[in-house]
Structure 1
Amino acid sequence: MKIKTCIALALTLVALPAAAKVSQAEADKLKSTLTPMGGERGANKDGSIPAWDGGYTQTPSCYQGEGKRLCDPFPSDKPLYTITGKNFAQYKDKLSAGQQAMFAKYGDSYKLNVYPTRRTAAYPDFVNEATYQNALKGDLGGGGEALVNTITGIPFPIPKSGVEPVWNHKVRYRGPGGRRWNNQAAVTTSGDFNLVKIREDVRFTYSQKGATPDSLQNVIIYFLQVVAQPPRLAGQITLVHETMDQVKEPRRAWQYNPGQRRLRRAPNVGYDNPGTGADNLRTNDQTDTFNGATDRYTWKIVGKKEMIIPYNSYVVHSDKYKYKDIIKRNHINQDLPRYELHRVWVVEGTLKPGTSHVYAKRVFFLDEDSWQISLVDIYDRRGELWRWQEAHPVQAYNKTFQSSVMETIYDLQSGRYLVQAMNNEDEEAYEQVFDPSYFDPANVQRQATK
């Protein structure tokens, strides 16, 4: 009898939403001392991080129009200083453990060019207003695995629990949907690589203007991935319907193998299962730095701090550079990325007892102005630093949101690394509003077998 009572109590606790909404007075800070996304509006003490002035919302003269490459609006900017293997110790308080490990391992070649901080992140008015309403109404349910009463904007701009910033990253506004090339390269210790070309179509159902929680039918993101090359992988398809309440219904996923010519349910698409074409250098939940269920970790907000992170990465995104210009031995060509000093939320995820994942601990560093996970320190089960991950974002000034244009995952133990989300030699990502029926399994099956 006692066992039955305990089980019933546990199920009740899982079903109850955790209080995440804030008071009216706190929410009103989003219109005064905080940015609409929840960042601090003011500058830091020495002015090295300027005040947020609304972000970068103009169109630079170098931009050639819809569908064309996002050009660098700051071509005259020069590095303020360069961090190298010889001087990185003086900047340790602003570097993650992974960044410091890179200097220790590759100090002769690894460097960070640190530019003036430009707080370019900006979002449409309807997203800002939705974020304000979410602050007042939004909750968590299902032990943190369900969003309740949030839509379109950041769910928890003034976070109180560790899982809330992770949700903010997962559903941050990136437009209503679109198509991009997510090309990736697994790089050997000698610097050799083979390119895997992947096309991705996505509908951000949660982000649709005018959407309501009920209109989502429990799907926040529709995602379709098609491998274009190399020939041995070409035609592989992954289809995902990401759910808003993952207790009510976990992620729906399917995979298509050209040899079998059937689209099959694929419950293994998630967590620490190997990512497509990544030569075992990333897990499924490392696409977009982190995606999917959060339930295998206990999440804790460590605090906020000033960190040197990738930002305004227009140069490394330029079509002037071929993949061979970017991908080098040991690490990418560090002449190309831009780094800036920004305030970040530091969130630590520790693997729960009784659950499994190849990563025992992950430390996320999330940009306060966009909720993009910028850096990730990743630890193995021995407590040793294993991998380190970074995302290089740009402000999509033509659409008013921030988006990552390249991600790297360095395996500090093997000396290999992965570059993903590149499109330098392919067309620019573009906005497209796909109908939900496009992502219906039956439609995907028909398209795959044409």
Structure 2
Amino acid sequence: MMSVMTKTPLALTVGLILAGSALAKVPASEAEQLGKDLTCVGAVKAANKEGTIPEFTGKWAGAPAGVAHAQSSGKHPVDIYADEKPLYVITAENVEKYGDKLSPGQKAMFQKYPKTMQLPVYKGHRDFRYTDEVCAVVKKNAVESEVTDNGLGVKGHLGAINFPIPKSGIEVIWNNLLPTRAYNEKIIRDMGRVLSDGSVTYGRMENWNLDMVNRPDNLGKPVEGPMAYSMTKGMLPEREKGGVTNSVEPTNFGKDKRLAWSYDPGTRRVRQVPEYGFDQPMTGTGGKLTIDSDRLFNGSPERYNWKLIGKKEMYIPANAYKIHQATVKYADLLKQNHANPDYMRYELRRVWAVEGTLKDGYRHLYGKRVLFVDEDTGQAVASDIYDARGQLWQHALINTYYSFDIKAWHAGTSFYYDLNSGSYMAYNLFQERPLGPILNKGDLTPNMFTPEAARNAGT
């Protein structure tokens, strides 16, 4: 049973709330704690009583002084904590000591791979912050934002999380869907499917993302219109080479649907994808990654009932600069059973735990998914995934880091571990690429994501 520090009463009746009107707003008196006892995004500012989670300093917005950084260059992130060593390493031999701060999926990894599984735990750092402009929008959202349309839409303001003091699971999910992050991204991603015998099959895709929510000229405007545009072009494996999918995602899934158009190089035709997202396979992953598990969860929340379990302390990947260095070779990182622990960095942090259970009458490969959302970012960093029988199936995680380009946290390399087959998917690899993600360059526009643009990109 997962230990919980706090539990929200509304979480117990979230289903009844969503069946009725919009969720209640946070009183102004509660919102006044933002920037005081709470950070501007609602995280507890103080250290925990043991001092194992540090106080939030927020001393840096963007690159720290003395750190060389070329804006929107695509250079691999600088590891500002490169000289640090782990405080301790969690292994199968001592895992019981730390079990109350691990998820069921994490503990299952130690059970399955007792000889090799490790979690290196480093000194915690809460040194980075969002801009004052973003914080001002968050505070406005705290007293004005509401979940609407039975959980499928939000009334609020763009460019910042809408629920810094969440009272329900669906509010935490919307924070994960609409966080402050890059508005403009170009990247060539590698993917590695690692089989149980340690052999690796690679995929590759070119990906462009235009996040309308975070465009600078939209900061503070009402939540409406398209949420994001995306282009995915297959490069590997060979059978997927040249295939292009362009998609547009709404901010309100109760009024609009995610639309997508796919270009097939074999027929040289573009067709609209009948229903895009959910558990359809992700390009380049050999069917091992679903579209809605990118960033652990994305797209419409309609197929699940979302329950807020509460806030807890948990070991999660954080300040993950080490794994994203250009010196990291895939052969050294992608080991049999799991990623090489030498490149991982875990910290003890506070997370919101949210459980999504598949609704009656809906279909999905995942019968239940539990997301762990970092209180400092509003973004999911780990997930335990269950099959239709309720059996634990996968554990997934994202190595996040604060990007100086965007003055916010960015989702880096992620791992999706299949606890049944012993295989795993390494997604969003760019360590061996000449460039990493090119963020906020501002060179993407909506007309680059039309059906005609998909045809042109594939030829």
| Aligned residue in 2 for 1:428 | 436
| Aligned residue in 2 for 1:59 | 64
The 5 A counterparts of 1:240-319 are 240-319=247-326
Letter in 2 for 1:439: F
Letter in 2 for 1:201: W
Please list the CA deviations of residues 279-336 of structure 1 after superposition, one character each: whole Å capped at 9, or x if unmatched. Answer: 2322111111111111111111111111000111111111101111110111111111
Q: Is 1:444 equivalent to 2:454 in the alignment?
A: yes
Distance change (3 Å), C-alpha of 1:15 and 1:248:
farther
| Aligned residue in 2 for 1:147 | 154
Which residue among 14, 21, 28 is the counterpart of 1:24?
Answer: 28
C-alpha separation in 1, matches of 2:24 and 2:271:
37
Bigger Cα displacement from structure 2, 108-117 vs 208-217: 208-217
Pairwise CA distance, 1:20: 4.1
Letter in 1 for 2:171: E
CA contact (8 A) 1:16 1:141 kept: no
Q: Is 1:37 equivalent to 2:47 in the alignment?
A: no
Q: Is 1:176 equivalent to 2:183 in the alignment?
A: yes
Secondary structure in 2 matching 1:113: strand
Distance change (3 Å), C-alpha of 1:214 and 1:27:
closer
| Aligned residue in 2 for 1:361 | 368
Distance change (3 Å), C-alpha of 1:448 and 1:217:
farther
Secondary structure in 2 matching 1:72: coil
C-alpha separation in 2, matches of 1:437 and 1:245:
21
Distance change (3 Å), C-alpha of 1:125 and 1:234:
same
| Aligned residue in 2 for 1:350 | 357
The 5 A counterparts of 1:130-279 are 130-211=137-218, 218-279=225-286
Pairwise CA distance, 1:236: 1.3
CA contact (8 A) 1:388 1:411 kept: yes
Any stretches of 5+ residues in structure 2 without a counterpart?
1-16
Give the aligned CA root-mean-square deviation in angstroms. Answer: 1.9
C-alpha separation in 2, matches of 1:166 and 1:346:
10
| Aligned residue in 1 for 2:425 | 418
The 5 A counterparts of 1:314-333 are 314-333=321-340
How many aligned positions are there? 437
CA contact (8 A) 1:20 1:156 kept: no
C-alpha separation in 2, matches of 1:119 and 1:214:
29
CA contact (8 A) 1:126 1:209 kept: no
C-alpha separation in 1, matches of 2:312 and 2:194:
32
Distance change (3 Å), C-alpha of 1:269 and 1:121:
farther
Pairwise CA distance, 1:69: 1.6
| Aligned residue in 1 for 2:4 | none
TM-score (norm 2): 0.91
Letter in 2 for 1:30: L
Letter in 2 for 1:248: K
Which residue among 321, 340, 344 is the counterpart of 2:347?
Answer: 340
TM-score (norm 1): 0.93
Pairwise CA distance, 1:181: 2.5
Q: Is 1:374 equivalent to 2:381 in the alignment?
A: yes
